[in-house]
Structure formats: structure tokens, C-alpha cells
């Protein structure tokens, strides 16, 4: 974009143009992948400016990372953003940036499993006290604050169980106590939620998911307000978590169609979620936009829309029948991750993970990612699967 927007541009327009500087690349509208480690300096005077020069070593940033980060920061309304090699590493940056031995961090009980493992295996080992809190706690979080509480991490909706958090209430409580907040926004993306506009300090995304959108890249990004930015950038640099140029290129390219894909994922997933709610084999649908979801009112309050990822609980728990259903699917594949063009069906077990608030829902849980296929074809695949389950 040539000039900063005035009046403010809509998300669709920002997704189309943010981070693009054709004049720098012989008129090319997309930034080519810059494969660089060594960057040489013409003069000693230039050399002396490091690290204040825009680029001085591949790990610290390249035109490919700068273009992606500029686009994300614009979309998030952040002071700045930094890309990392995966969503998980982006989460670690947010956690490590503000904590030291003796500090206390509050994590939601329904957080992404590997986030929890990293907290246990790394942060706890380095003396950070991790406490898991019930995700629907809202303003009640302040009862858990201790003198050394440094950070409240949120993930909304939560992995596997899709509770939508009261972001505003948690932020207000944390701010009143001088505690930082961070959120994992991989599900909503800035198309459907801009956490910094609600006062969250740091927003983390797995760009592997919807941002890249084509199941072919691993990437993370951390965005922060002005106050938190220096600590975030320093942590990413010190941990050496740089992203590859190819991945940055793919994610920058993915951004250009993010809003269009998100609208389709949302429409198709809602159609299928409503249909699943009428199926006798389905006990409950866990979709933030449906009244049956915990935190549905929070979703209405904070979110502009939904993505294509949600959960269901089946009445059936018999392993043989579940396997018969899953093994026979033709369009839905079993796979980790979500956010790509293809539909996925993922068997999950929330109960053993939780410690702060037991997951008491009986029945077998499945996570669905609704891809860009035709919904009639997808329903036919699911209907046949549910028949195998009941046979
Ligand atoms: C997948 C995922 C991550 C981790 O992202 P990777 O790019 O796979 O490392 C983080 N948070 C959530 C909610 C995720 O689903």
C-alpha cells in the first residue's frame, strides 16, 4: 500500500493490499521469497548501524518476513508482529517474553495440547509456576491472581471443546492488577476477531491453519501492542525462531484470499453443524455460533463470525463402531491440524487432559474441519458414516 488508509479500510481491503510494495519489486504485487542468511554491507558505516538497519542477518528478518509481519500487524491493529517457524513456537515466545523463575502464569484448562506440554516440560522446568483455570471463569479470574502472576493466557474458542471466553472481562481483571494478557487467535483469525482492539496485549496465531490455508506450510506469528512489542521481538530473536522464506511467501499469498475462504468455511460449517444437530447419533454440537456451545453469548459479543472448525459429541462410545465410521469416510480424512481447503474429522479425548475443571460430557468427541467441498457431498459422507456407527 502506498499510504496509510484514511478513512480506515475494511478487513477485505487490508487483506488484499497490506504488506504489498510493488515499487520495491519491479512492480510485482507479491513479495518474492527472499532466501537469505548472509547480508553484506557496502561500507563500515553501514555495518556500524546494525541492528538498526532493516536487514542484517537472515535469522533477524528478511523482506519476506517483513512483508508478512507488516500485513499481520496492520490486520491486527498491532504495533508490530514477528513471524516464527510454527504456531507452537509463537505461543512459546509469548510465554517466555514476560516470565522468569518464580513467576505465575494462568493458562486455560482447554488450551491446545502442545501448549500445555510446553508449559509443563519447559516453563515449569525453568521455575515458572503454571496454573490452569476454568475457561469460562471470566472476571472471576482475579481470585486466582497472586503477587507474582505475570500473564493470563487465553485461547478462544478452546481447542477440542470450543468454549468461547469472556475476553473483555478477563482483560479488565488483568489490567486492574497490572498483569499482561495474551490470546491464541488461530481459530478466528483477524477476519473474525481482533483481540488487541479488546485490550489484549499479545495475539498469537498458528498461520499454519487458516492464514496459509492450503495445508502446505508451518508458520506462527505473534503481534503485540507498543508496550509489549520490545519483549516479544527480543524473545523471538533470542530463541532463534525464524520462519522460512517459502513458508512466509505461502502465508502472505494465503492472506490475499483469507476473507473469501473464511466466509465459505463459516457458511459450510454452519450448514453442516445445524444438520448434525438434527441427527439422532449426535448428542451435542460444540460450535461457538450455536446456542448449544458454552460461551455462545461471548461469541456474539466479541466475534465477527465463525470459522469452519467445531466439535460434536456422539452418543456412541464403542471403539469398533467408531472405527467403522471413521475408516469408511471418503471425503473427510483423519488428521491433525485444520484450516486447509480439505475437510478433516479428528477423534479426540478432552477428559484426560483437563485438571482445573473436569470434562464430564459422556460420549465420543470428534473435531470437524469443514473444507471447501460442496456441503451436500460432505453431508452424504457424514450420513453414511453415522449409518455405519448405528449399524
Ligand atoms: C495447531 C494449533 C497451534 C499450533 O500451531 P502449529 O503451527 O501446528 O505449531 C496452536 N494453537 C492452536 C489453537 C492450534 O490449533
Q: Could you give the maximum distance between any two Cα atoms of the chain, in Å?
A: 77
Nearest alpha carbon to residue 180 among 221, 229, 238, 126: 229
> Best substitution site from 89, 114, 369 to test ligand 1's pocket, by max atoms within 8 Å of Cβ?
114
> Best substitution site from 87, 91, 159 to test ligand 1's pocket, by max atoms within 8 Å of Cβ?
87
Q: What is the mean pLDDT of the chain?
A: 96
- Ligand 1 centroid to 117 CA: how many Å? 13
For 223, the grid coordinates are 503481534
Dist. CA 313–CA 335, nearest whole Å: 18
pLDDT beyond 70 at 379: yes
- Ligand 1 centroid to 185 CA: how many Å? 10
pLDDT digits (tens, 9 = 90+) for 172-185: 999 999 999 999 99
Exposed e or buried b per residue across 47-82, where buried means at least 16 C-beta atoms within 10 angstroms of its C-beta: eeeeeeeebbebebbbbbbbbbbbbbbbbbbbbbbb
pLDDT digits (tens, 9 = 90+) for 299-323: 999 999 999 999 999 999 899 999 9
> Best substitution site from 83, 86, 88, 311 to test ligand 1's pocket, by max atoms within 8 Å of Cβ?
88
- Ligand 1 centroid to 220 CA: how many Å? 8
pLDDT beyond 90 at 353: no
More confident residue, 66 or 5: 66
pLDDT beyond 70 at 1: no
To the question of pTM greater than 0.75 for the whole model, the response is yes
Active-site residues: which are they? 59, 112, 184, 209
**Which residue ranges have their beta carbon within 6 Å of ligand 1?**
86-88, 112, 155, 159, 184, 186, 206, 208-209, 218, 220, 337
Tell me which residue has cell 485461547. 155
Mean pLDDT of 25-39: 94
**8 Å CB contact between 308 and 269:** yes
- Ligand 1 centroid to 88 CA: how many Å? 6
- Ligand 1 centroid to 315 CA: how many Å? 28
What string of H, E and C letters represents the secondary structure of the chain?
A: CCCCCCCCCCHHHHHHHCCCCHHHHCCCCCCCCCCCCECCCCCHHHHHCCCCCCCCEHHHCCHHHHHHHHHHHHHHCCCEEEEECCHHHHHHHHHHHCCCCCCEEEEECCCCHHHHHHHHHHHHHHCCEEEEECCCCHHHHHHHCCCCEEEEEEECCCCCCCCCCCHHHHHHHHHHCCCEEEEECCCCHHHHCCHHHHCCCEEEEECCCCCCCCCCCCCEEEEECCCCHHHHHHHHHHHCCCCCHHHHHHHHHHHCCHHHHHHHHHHHHHHHHHHHHCCCCEEEEECCCCCCCCCHHHHHHHCCCCCCEEEEEECCCCHHHHHHHHHCCCCCECCCCCCCCCCEEEEECCHHHCCCCCCCCCCEEEEEECCCCCHHHHHHHHHHHHHHHHC
pLDDT beyond 90 at 6: no
The phi and psi torsions of 58 (rounded to 5 degrees) equal -50, -40
Protein residue closest via CA to atom 8 of ligand 1:
87
> Best substitution site from 160, 186, 207 to test ligand 1's pocket, by max atoms within 8 Å of Cβ?
186
pLDDT beyond 90 at 3: no
pLDDT of residue 352: 86
> From the alpha carbon of 220, which atom of ligand 1 is closest?
7
Protein residue closest via CA to atom 4 of ligand 1:
87
For 140, the grid coordinates are 472471576
pLDDT beyond 80 at 136: yes
- Ligand 1 centroid to 337 CA: how many Å? 7
pLDDT beyond 90 at 360: no
pLDDT over 90, % of the chain? 93
> From the alpha carbon of 90, which atom of ligand 1 is closest?
9
pLDDT digits (tens, 9 = 90+) for 80-105: 999 999 999 999 999 999 999 999 99
Protein residue closest via CA to atom 1 of ligand 1:
337
pLDDT beyond 70 at 50: yes
pLDDT beyond 90 at 48: yes
> From the alpha carbon of 218, which atom of ligand 1 is closest?
7
- Ligand 1 centroid to 135 CA: how many Å? 18
pLDDT beyond 70 at 223: yes
> From the alpha carbon of 155, which atom of ligand 1 is closest?
13
Amino acid at each position: 500500500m502506498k499510504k496509510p488508509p484514511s478513512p480506515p479500510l475494511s478487513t477485505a481491503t487490508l487483506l488484499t493490499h497490506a504488506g504489498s510494495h510493488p515499487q520495491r519489486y519491479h512492480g510485482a504485487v507479491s513479495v518474492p521469497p527472499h532466501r537469505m542468511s548472509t547480508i553484506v554491507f557496502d561500507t563500515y558505516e553501514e555495518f556500524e548501524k546494525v541492528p538498526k538497519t532493516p536487514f542484517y542477518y537472515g535469522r533477524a528478518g528478511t523482506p519476506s518476513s517483513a512483508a508478512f509481519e507488516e500485513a499481520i500487524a496492520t490486520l491486527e491493529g498491532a504495533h508490530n508482529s514477528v513471524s516464527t517457524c510454527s504456531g507452537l513456537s509463537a505461543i512459546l515466545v509469548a510465554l517466555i517474553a514476560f516470565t522468569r523463575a518464580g513467576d505465575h502464569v494462568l493458562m486455560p484448562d482447554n488450551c491446545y495440547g502442545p501448549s500445555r506440554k510446553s508449559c509443563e516440560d519447559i516453563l515449569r522446568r525453568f521455575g515458572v509456576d503454571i496454573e490452569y483455570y476454568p475457561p469460562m471463569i471470566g472476571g472471576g479470574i482475579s481470585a486466582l491472581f497472586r503477587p507474582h502472576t505475570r500473564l493470563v493466557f487465553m485461547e478462544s474458542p478452546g481447542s477440542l471443546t470450543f468454549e468461547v471466553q469472556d475476553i473483555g472481562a478477563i482483560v479488565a481483571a488483568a489490567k486492574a492488577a497490572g498483569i499482561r494478557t495474551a490470546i491464541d487467535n488461530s481459530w478466528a483469525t483477524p477476519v473474525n476477531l481482533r483481540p488487541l482492539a479488546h485490550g489484549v496485549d499479545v495475539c498469537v496465531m498458528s498461520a499454519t491453519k487458516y492464514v496459509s490455508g492450503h495445508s502446505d506450510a508451518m508458520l506462527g506469528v505473534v503481534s503485540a501492542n507498543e508496550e509489549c512489542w520490545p519483549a516479544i521481538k527480543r524473545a523471538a530473536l533470542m530463541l532463534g525462531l525464524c520462519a522460512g522464506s517459502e513458508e512466509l511467501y505461502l502465508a502472505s499469498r494465503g492472506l490475499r484470499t483469507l476473507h473469501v475462504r473464511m466466509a465459505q468455511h463459516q457458511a459450510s460449517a454452519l450448514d453442516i453443524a445445524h444438520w448434525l444437530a438434527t441427527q439422532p447419533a449426535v448428542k451435542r454440537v460444540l460450535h461457538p455460533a450455536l446456542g448449544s456451545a458454552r460461551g455462545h453469548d461471548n461469541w456474539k459479543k466479541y466475534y465477527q463470525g465463525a470459522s469452519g472448525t467445531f466439535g460434536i459429541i456422539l452418543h456412541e462410545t464403542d471403539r469398533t463402531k467408531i472405527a467403522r465410521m471413521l475408516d469408511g469416510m471418503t471425503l473427510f480424512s483423519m488428521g491433525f491440524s485444520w484450516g486447509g481447503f480439505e475437510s478433516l474429522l479428528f477423534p479426540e479425548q478432552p477428559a484426560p487432559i483437563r485438571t482445573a475443571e473436569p470434562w464430564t460430557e459422556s460420549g465420543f468427541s470428534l473435531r470437524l474441519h469443514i473444507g471447501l467441498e460442496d456441503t451436500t457431498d460432505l453431508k452424504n459422507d457424514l450420513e453414511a458414516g453415522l449409518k455405519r456407527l448405528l449399524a
